[in-house]
Amino acid sequence: MFRICNKHQETTDHLISGCSEVAKTEYIQKHNQAATYIHWATCKHYNIKVKDKCYEHEPSSVTENEEATLLWDMPIQTVKEIKANRPNMVVKDRKKRTCVLIDMSVPNKSNTSLKTIENLSKYKDLETEIERMWRMRTTTVPVVIGALGLIKKGMEKYTSKIPGNIEIQELQKIVLQGTAHILRKTLSIK
């Protein structure tokens, strides 16, 4: 049995992406580190002052300048009640009149395709409501990187919609480092 939850077999898949006990802290930290990289790169794109290293960056709930507003992990208030109203990040570009809803996921390897489709459909109602309220062309961008760095073919098609130079290899590296940290930490527990 897995040494942390004592509920499931101690398999690599369970350890890196399937344990509800590890999910409360370690999986969230790995997810947020990857999402923070996207926020950092997007801030740089809009000439918003950030630290030199992405791992030193701490996203604020609202970051803005005259060109754009970035919302970090905030529910979007809408007239119509929408359950899925909290993407990881929202990028409102005032000049282009566009809005990008970014949702990051780090599932196990077998769920990357399913998670991409799930994230696209999950925010469809929010997309429609934002277009109506803010009068901005709105798109959802799922960023899905498997816990072992696996990406769905065509991921560049999605990441290219995010303002800034988002490097998929950098996202993979951040996720893999997070997974390695989880492995080292949990396997060292006696």
pLDDT in tens, 128-152: 999 999 999 999 999 999 999 999 8
What are the mean pLDDT values of the chain's consecutive 10-residue runs (190 residues total)?
82 82 86 96 96 95 97 94 95 96 88 87 95 96 93 92 94 95 85
User: For residue 82, what are the CA distances in angstroms to 77, 117, 128, 165?
Assistant: 9, 19, 11, 31
Residue 111 confidence (pLDDT): 75
Q: Domains of the chain (ranges plus CATH)? A: 12-187 (3.40.91)
Residue 108 confidence (pLDDT): 80
Residue 9 confidence (pLDDT): 84
pLDDT in tens, 157-187: 999 999 998 999 999 999 999 999 988 988 8
**CA dihedral sign of residues 138, 174, 114, 187:** negative
Number of other residues whose CB lies within 10 A of the CB of residue 32: 18
| pTM assigned to the model | 0.91
Residue 5 confidence (pLDDT): 83
Mean of all residue pLDDT scores within the chain = 92
